[in-house]
Structure 1
Amino acid sequence: MRWLEIALCVFFIYNNVITANPTAQKEEEEKQPVKEEQQTLIADENDEKKVYDNYRLPLSITPDNYKLEIFTHLNDSEGFAFKGIVEITLTVHEFADNITLHAKNLTIPTMNIELRDVTENENVKIKSVELMPKHDFLIIYPQSILSKFRKYVVKIPFVGSLDTDLVGYYRSSYLDKAANKRIWLSVTQFEPIHAREAFPCFDEPEMKATFDISLAHHKMYNSLSNMPLKETKEVESVKDFVKNTFETSVKMSTYLVAYCVSDFEYKESVVKMKDDVKFRIYARRDAMEQVDYAAEIGPKVLKFYEDYFDIKYPLPKVDMIAVPDFAAGAMENWGLITYRETALLYQSNASTLSAKYRVAEVVAHELAHQWFGNLCTMKWWSDLWLNEGFATYVASLGVAHLHPEWKSLDEESVDNTLDIFKVDALKASHPVSVTIGHPNQISQIFDAISYSKGSVLIRMMHKFLGEKAFRFGVSNYLKKHAYANAEQDDLWHSLTASAHEEQSLPTSISVKDIMDTWTLQVGYPVIDVKRDYDTNSATITQSRYLSDRYTTRSDLDFCWWIPLTYTFGENRNFTSSSAQDWMTCNKNKETEEKKIENLPDSKHWAIFNIQLAGLYKIKYDADNYKLIVDTLNSDEFETIHVINRAQLIDDAMDLAWTGQQDYGIALDMINYLKQESEYIPWKAALDNLRIVNRLLIRSQLYGVFKAYIRHILKPIYAKVGGISKVPDQTQLASVKHQSMICAWSCRFDVGDCVKKSVEFFNNWMIETEPDHINPIPLNLRPVIYCTAIRLGNENHWKFLWQRYVNSNVGAEKSMIISALSCSREQWVLSRYLEWSLNSTLVRKQDASFVFSGIAREEIGFFLAKSFFFDRIDDIYQTLYPDTSRLSRYIKPLAEQMSTQKELTELKDLVSIKSKAFEKSSQGVRQALETVELNNQWKINNYLQLASRLNHMRMRNFDYEDEIAEENNEKKSATELSMA
């Protein structure tokens, strides 16, 4: 009998065992009588309330050190499992009658749990052990009261299963093509609350401790953990097993603990760090040629952060590892950072420049976490944004440092801000600092609010505080709370002190006064600027912006401290984004009108929020709008900063959505794009038009709308060089711009986009070695693949699917997965949806991408909708246990639903399958509100937009000529696709 089976038999035959899993535990209880001397209770909800009904751990006992030993078995013929022993050194701060910690999905032999009083050097008898499944608590009751200020050691053995759930300690695999063999590995993902599924622990971020980790496994594998390897020994009791012991870690939270057992190889960076910090990139053997870029930029950005924060990286090494199956983009485990392959690996002849940017962005983000999150950690998940918002913003600084030629900082900031304007305009949004009602809600706040809005708010602070005050304040905050925990008020205190010292804020104002209005309440403001052209002044008021035009007083009962920046048409100054004035907000959420004097005369415009320095929208009076539109539609349009050109379009479209202004103003602003060549304004316009496109696609107005889109795209398609021009690989904005314009042009049959795309793809299909020779321009492959699949047949789809199967590059596989969703063959899409639930065909981490790609297509939407409604239970099981990802399924459907019937259908599904949606309630609420808003828009805006588009058609473009040209393009494309 194999070692694992022996161990399990010993556990079950000779010991009382509890299983930290409610279902399994109940079954075991029914089978076995409970022994009086070692009673184990399986508490129901009423019992739990009698013991302890707070989901937070009591603070009477805290951990100092974990000695963790794990045996990992990676062989499918013998079962995937792990066993281990953890010894936790504890400090008792108050007299206690129990030790409460976390355990979940672990089998624990209760008779083998030991407790020792370190202070008195004597063993303590254990009276009983029980579980509280509601909160994943493992509660150990000693015979005697634990004494205050003493130290104890509790020793707990456990056994667990290496599943494929992508959380806790799980298994992943890859196909070794040379040996034609599947190779297994094991890896951890503990954030936010999954360490408890790998070993019993105090699984809360404030419960920091040091860790001594040992990993035992077959000698054919190697292993990694947070710290460098200390020693390797043979395991005498298990043949061919070795045990790697790692150095004692720094003090850290359980969610940052990491270990991995694999046969991966590594490449050490040739960029040397000071203090001999080793920097290594691990990957499967077949992918080692893809690690060079990460090995090059990693040490550089780490050094940048050391200088920026004035704090040395505290560990002796950084290992970064590319995991084939990984639910998140990456995880910042201290000293052992885990990545999805697409976020770490880059191959120049197969990865686009956008894929290269993603690697730089994610690497910079995770290394920023080594300070924000790891060194200084939020006390509780309510302040997750302190981790993610800071890492997102600081990563943009890191990427700008690595690649100044990309000029990515402005684009990143604008992208984040415009995205947040849409998400945070929902009533179902949430504050940045959000109250967590139960730990199972934590995963839902790993969203755009915590990441993007958090980043935008930090950028806003950076702007109004100034570089020196911001940098010193952040550095002092990190130094003061190093190896400890903090709340946002601690950050506000440090920033206020540096701001007052640098005189960037009056001493009567604190950062807390300002920022609490942005982090503790939901949403953002729109300021209404009404100019008085007789007195050259303006009156400004603020209110909350909501996409829903039907609001109540409670919806709008908000106000913010708003840093005001502005410039004028006669003395344009778009360079300074420091606050020129403030709109204030008192504790009663009251704000007064703000009057701005010394504005220009009636011949010159005024523009507020320079370079989007603040998270707010602006509504102008009609005369000021006319002045701005006239400038935009003249040869002086570039005198308005490019970011503000994007902002003006986005604000106008959003205000037209809610009826606060006419669509005529928004369309007049978009009209200037015929002479615009910059990426950011075009992206702002097309992102807004994409929303309108989804709502019109099944309406009789769609023909006119398509003609309008073709009309505005023709000049820019020619300007970017069309689909045939090979973009400059060094200019990120140019590449993204050409790709975006070509994607829209191919979708709307502009120019030769369709014809050339299909020609490119057909030429690739006739290559004798298509996996090695690809004639399609690298950075335009996503567009060309999608266009060819959309207009092609089954052979085209099968050809591209085979390229997916054969590809060894994660970024390329991800690109192909998206393109395959573009098909119009219904049976092909139906089969593809089925494949998304089969992890041997589509990795579990990619299932939602397949679904969302199909759901966003004109024909695919109906198939995806039926699939979601019919197969919700199967989708739930595929995602389990991280069922919060169901929001990734419901969101793309909701975006295209706009009728009361569809809303009712969706509500009924959520009601009937309430258990399935329990952990995605935030996303469900947002999806339902999205459908309501879409319906509201069609009722209120459809006729107005129809009138405006028809009026523009009569003035600016010939609808019949557009339709004729479109039909000719389709005919040509169809003939080519059948070649």
Structure 2
Amino acid sequence: MRRSALKLGISLILFVAIDAFPKRLERSVDLNEQHKLEWVCICDDLWPLSYILEIEPLITEAKFKGRVRINVTWTEGADKISLHVHPDLQISHSNVRVTRLNDVHVSDDSAEEPKAPAPVRISKTERNPKKLVIHLDQMLRRNVICEIDITYLGNITTNGTSDLFMNEYNDVNGQKHSYVATYLRLNNARKMFPSFDELQYKTKFQLILRRPKNMTALSNTPIEKSVAVPGEPEMMQDHFEQTPEMTTYQLAFVISDFESIVPTKHANTIDGQELQVRVWGRKDYVEALKDVPDKIITIVNYLQEYFNSSIKLAKLDIVAMPTYTATKASDNWGLMIFKEGELSSPLVWNMAYELTYQWIGQYITPYRWVDASENKGLNSFLASMTTMDINPDELKGKWPMNILYSLYYGYGKAFGANRRTGIIRDAKFAKIELVFRMFYYILGKEDFKTSMRHLIQSQSTTWPGVAEGRGTRSFTAIDIYNSMKYVATKSGSLPRPLTIIQIAETWIDQERLPLVTVTRNYNNSTITFSQKLYVRETQNPLNSWESSYRWNIPLVMQSRHKWNNSDYTPKAWLLKSNYEQNLNIRDIDDKDSFIVVNPEEIGLFPVNYDSHNWELLADYLQSPTFETIPTLTRAKLLHDSWNLAYADELHFKIALNMTLFLKHEKSHVVWEPFFPMIDHVGRRIEGSGVFGKFEAYLRSLLKPMYTEACESPQAGEPSWKAHLRGLARYFLCGAGYEPCISEARDQFKKWMADQEPDKGNPVANEFICPVFKWGTDDEWNFGLERVIKFPRDSPERKQSERTYLLKTLAGCAKDPAKIERLLYVAITRRADFTDADIHLIFTMLTGSSNGYTTLFKFLYDHWDTIKQRFAGSMNLWTGIVRSATGFFNTQEGYDMVSKLYAERRSEFGNAEPFVIEAMENIMREMKWSEKNLPVIDQWLTDNLVKPLVIDKDMQQYWKTALACPNREINDATAPAS
């Protein structure tokens, strides 16, 4: 699943839609689309009433024959018809017919009698790259119904998963099998048939497919009848039941020789029907899918109860498709398509996420693609809640903290996430997901469920004032929030006049996050709350417009003496409208009791406290009863304190005190944020005299976690075990823990002893970096040789293996001589190293002081040679200058960069702004170091005076908890103290 840390960066596509029909209330905000969308408005007063679509795939020719009959009506008089048509569809003028039908809807004030069906003369047809325009000889009046009948020829896609595509797979005997399927999101339906290919055009479809007798056809609805094709004994024609009203992108079918299996459990009857579920796959893969049908039934039953609704279809077919290359499963209404590995996975989240779309996204659909952002974020949250209820261990320690931490890092950039660093589309969706989680706590579990039921029920009927069949079962982002508003109004969950929409807008529209500061007055028993923009990095003063960011923030609070895990409703609100005012309330506990604001990360914001409250928290966390503070809250307190210290918002002594309880902490959820934080802080202080003490402190905390590596991935063990094992080993190796280094080198020797080392890498990735960091020249040179001799076109070796080797060669080496050699070889032997390789080396060298210092000296000493080498590549030139100058944080580094700038000022070219920026950044980093390094040094000195012995109880705990399954645990596996 997609819960790994987000690497933030995005390109926004603004989609503005215009239509001639009454508009619903929509948000006037910049929302991301899911994909790039070619949008062309039909812009005629024309509406489809129904489709009859016939498709005959010609597999050997990679083409298909098609015929579409569309019943349409006009809302105003017109003499032309415009349809979305892709240029690939071959349509001749003679194969386009228009017939006026006798079933005419006549307005009440008209005396016109219905006319018999009659052809309508076509004066001409006109094609442009995106439309087919049919010009009629006569003006047709409003409410006239016509049938558009078009016969055409199209191409089947053979090099991807889009529109109507075809692919092959080999069975265990090597025999090839073909299949044909569709992927019509977002606007790919026009590649398969002329249509009204926009979301607002929702109508019924009748699908007719021609297929070989030895194959099976699936679509949104069951087959109504199958008939033999006259004159073609090997062919059948399947007529599917008419669909409910839906959009063109929802239409789907698969023609294949796949086999099906059914669940042993039954879907609960709801809305008077029982959903029939079948899972399909190639014959050789069906055994791997045997547990999938019952898992689907479990999730379907959960969601049916949650929404108090069926998906409104009689059946659901789910296909495991070989060689399926779409980035996302195809969640078509009643027919879903997955990659084989995704469908056979025992995990719940991905299946829950895709199944949720059967209700919110298929039964009710986004009114515009801009509404898909809220749709995706909401469904992601609902899938997480479903997973937590069905299989809580799956997300334990991963959700919501991992995605929230990534948002903190991304949105906390000094220059703004969207302008300087960018954010990928998934970051926007992740933020929306967590906003819904926040509303879940604000409303309460049952009221939030009620709001989801209200959303589906309220959008299941035709909008008032719109003719039947137009806009049915569609929702905008505002409809989601209105459903929550409906519940909040009834329950009184929000203080008046605050609304759900007002809250949502401040969180979703602003590409930043707030920092809430809590200051307790222990003399008069009051608490003061203030908010400001959260910036994690040292920076210049904020611009005035950045300083004006404000949010509507729920203040959920708990305290030592009044902790209540069943009550997470806000005690107060810090409002956007109180622009220049802080909020003051009565304290919720006495002065000897700590308070916690935003426990469980209910809101998307870190919290800072006055120093005394931090002291109370640090002291309590070291007490025997520290686990009465819930796990996620302990993780938040640790994460907030270190990030605030990193951002120079909190005294570093407090942040370090907040780590002392870790020697007794048993939850991997709490440990999870500690590793990136020690990495970030370690990079900042590396090269200083403090760093050695810092590594010693890390070894004292992490030694109990050290266990021998598993020889291979262990089936059945929770993913967090392997993850935590790997993290502990990585940081212990990086900090010079001898048992870890010895184990890594022993594993690496096996590769060096291989007579054909370029055929494969037997060493796990986790062992490579320690060897390149602490090992011998021979071991490092062996790695460099493997990069140079890596087989480029070998089907057995993935290029990602070479990339990882190159990353670790550059990023892990401590010896400047090794780094210089790598730079020399990479820059001079251009046949063995691409521009991308050299960029990667520069980037990896910025991760350590040895790396960027050596890179700087290499640039300084070989300036003329490098300038000449990179004369034809401005990106490489600016890349090396930026990487070599931009990461120092000491006076010595500043002197080195400023000297280079003074000597070569006229020679930097386009790289000059990076050098100027680097010197500004170094000055800011120097101020941070001047303030914090003495504090860190003194704290480490005071705490390292104590003997660095391993806590035997914790050692035994972690040895048991992190041991590989089925491996005997004994004292021989324990690391040396």
Q: SS of 2:291's equivalent?
A: helix
**Residue number in structure 2 paired with 1:291:** 289
Which stretch shifts more, 246-255 or 817-826?
817-826
Distance, in Å, in 2 between the alignment partners of 1:117 and 1:545 is 64
**Residue number in structure 1 paired with 2:71:** 89
Q: Which amino acid aligns with 1:304?
A: Y
Distance, in Å, in 2 between the alignment partners of 1:895 and 1:529 is 41
**Residues 22-49 of structure 1, C-alpha deviations (whole Å, 9 max, x = no match):** xxxxxxxxxxxxxxxxxxxxxxxxxxxx
Decide which of 296, 299, 302 is 1:301's aligned counterpart.
299
**Residue number in structure 1 paired with 2:329:** 330
Decide which of 420, 428, 441 is 2:407's aligned counterpart.
420
CA shift at 1:856, angstroms? 8.1
Decide which of 155, 161, 176 is 1:166's aligned counterpart.
161
Aligned pairs for 1:519-598 (under 5 A) are 519-547=508-536, 549=539, 550-586=541-577, 590=579, 592-598=581-587
Aligned pairs for 1:651-690 (under 5 A) are 651-690=640-679
Contact 2:168–2:176, Cα closer than 8 Å, also in 1: yes
**Residue number in structure 1 paired with 2:100:** 117
Q: 1:272 to 1:947 in 2, by over 3 A?
A: same
Aligned CA-pair RMSD: 5.2
Q: 1:947 to 1:307 in 2, by over 3 A?
A: same
Q: Which amino acid aligns with 2:100?
A: D
CA shift at 1:711, angstroms? 3.8
Q: How many residues are treated as equivalent by the alignment?
A: 804
1:383 aligns with 2:371: yes
Aligned pairs for 1:205-354 (under 5 A) are 205-219=199-213, 221-235=215-229, 240-274=234-268, 275-315=273-313, 316-346=315-345
Q: 1:103 to 1:680 in 2, by over 3 A?
A: farther
**Residues 209-263 of structure 1, C-alpha deviations (whole Å, 9 max, x = no match):** 2222233345554433222233444545778554443322222233332223344
Distance, in Å, in 1 between the alignment partners of 2:51 and 2:871 is 47
1:723 aligns with 2:715: no
Contact 1:92–1:151, Cα closer than 8 Å, also in 2: yes
Q: SS of 1:89's equivalent?
A: strand
1:611 aligns with 2:597: no
Distance, in Å, in 1 between the alignment partners of 2:609 and 2:436 is 27
Q: 1:377 to 1:60 in 2, by over 3 A?
A: same
Distance, in Å, in 1 between the alignment partners of 2:719 and 2:500 is 35
- Structure 1 gap segments, 5+ residues each: 1-52, 347-355, 432-442, 768-773, 808-812, 838-847, 873-889, 902-911, 913-926, 963-979
Aligned pairs for 1:645-794 (under 5 A) are 645-691=634-680, 700=687, 705=691, 708=694, 711-712=697-698, 715-716=701-702, 718-719=704-705, 721-724=707-710, 729=716, 731=718, 733-745=720-732, 750=737, 752-753=739-740, 755-756=742-743, 783=766
Which stretch shifts more, 504-513 or 413-422?
504-513
Contact 2:697–2:940, Cα closer than 8 Å, also in 1: no
Contact 1:526–1:542, Cα closer than 8 Å, also in 2: yes
Q: Which amino acid aligns with 1:117?
A: R
CA shift at 1:330, angstroms? 1.9
Identity among equivalent pairs (%): 21
Q: Which amino acid aligns with 1:252?
A: M
Distance, in Å, in 2 between the alignment partners of 1:761 and 1:310 is 57
Decide which of 184, 190, 204 is 2:184's aligned counterpart.
190
Distance, in Å, in 2 between the alignment partners of 1:99 and 1:637 is 71
Decide which of 45, 50, 68 is 1:65's aligned counterpart.
50
CA shift at 1:567, angstroms? 1.9
Distance, in Å, in 2 between the alignment partners of 1:182 and 1:99 is 44
Q: 1:854 to 1:92 in 2, by over 3 A?
A: farther
**Residue number in structure 2 paired with 1:368:** 356
**Residue number in structure 2 paired with 1:14:** none
CA shift at 1:160, angstroms? 2.4
**Residue number in structure 2 paired with 1:20:** none
Contact 2:330–2:338, Cα closer than 8 Å, also in 1: yes
Please say which structure displays the higher CA radius of gyration: 2
Distance, in Å, in 2 between the alignment partners of 1:70 and 1:333 is 18
**Residue number in structure 1 paired with 2:88:** 106
**Residue number in structure 2 paired with 1:484:** 473
TM-score, normalisation: structure 2 = 0.70
Distance, in Å, in 2 between the alignment partners of 1:234 and 1:854 is 64
Distance, in Å, in 2 between the alignment partners of 1:657 and 1:499 is 38
Q: 1:659 to 1:277 in 2, by over 3 A?
A: same
Which stretch shifts more, 162-171 or 934-943?
934-943
Distance, in Å, in 1 between the alignment partners of 2:265 and 2:339 is 23
Distance, in Å, in 2 between the alignment partners of 1:375 and 1:688 is 44
CA shift at 1:361, angstroms? 0.9
CA shift at 1:302, angstroms? 0.6
- Structure 2 gap segments, 5+ residues each: 1-37, 105-114, 461-471, 755-760, 774-779, 811-821, 856-865, 874-878, 889-893, 898-909, 950-977
Aligned pairs for 1:939-954 (under 5 A) are 941=928, 947=934, 950-951=937-938, 954=941
Which stretch shifts more, 111-120 or 575-584?
111-120
Distance, in Å, in 2 between the alignment partners of 1:468 and 1:540 is 30
1:454 aligns with 2:436: no
Q: SS of 2:673's equivalent?
A: helix
**Residue number in structure 1 paired with 2:198:** 204
TM-score, normalisation: structure 1 = 0.70
Q: SS of 1:109's equivalent?
A: coil
Q: SS of 1:383's equivalent?
A: helix
**Residues 339-380 of structure 1, C-alpha deviations (whole Å, 9 max, x = no match):** 23342223xxxxxxxxx43xx211010011111111122211
**Residue number in structure 2 paired with 1:466:** 444
Q: 1:794 to 1:775 in 2, by over 3 A?
A: closer
Q: 1:412 to 1:489 in 2, by over 3 A?
A: same
Distance, in Å, in 1 between the alignment partners of 2:400 and 2:533 is 22
Distance, in Å, in 1 between the alignment partners of 2:258 and 2:770 is 37
Distance, in Å, in 2 between the alignment partners of 1:199 and 1:834 is 49
Q: 1:155 to 1:720 in 2, by over 3 A?
A: farther
Distance, in Å, in 1 between the alignment partners of 2:528 and 2:342 is 48
**Residue number in structure 1 paired with 2:382:** 394
CA shift at 1:692, angstroms? 5.1
Which stretch shifts more, 669-678 or 459-468?
669-678
Contact 2:99–2:120, Cα closer than 8 Å, also in 1: yes
Distance, in Å, in 2 between the alignment partners of 1:231 and 1:851 is 62
Q: 1:819 to 1:575 in 2, by over 3 A?
A: farther
Q: 1:947 to 1:200 in 2, by over 3 A?
A: farther
**Residues 803-838 of structure 1, C-alpha deviations (whole Å, 9 max, x = no match):** x9689xxxxx999899778764989999xx99999x
Aligned pairs for 1:825-836 (under 5 A) are none
Q: Which amino acid aligns with 1:363?
A: M
Q: 1:127 to 1:734 in 2, by over 3 A?
A: same
Distance, in Å, in 2 between the alignment partners of 1:553 and 1:396 is 38
Contact 1:281–1:320, Cα closer than 8 Å, also in 2: yes
**Residues 376-434 of structure 1, C-alpha deviations (whole Å, 9 max, x = no match):** 22211222133211211111122123224x17367412223223323344566579xxx
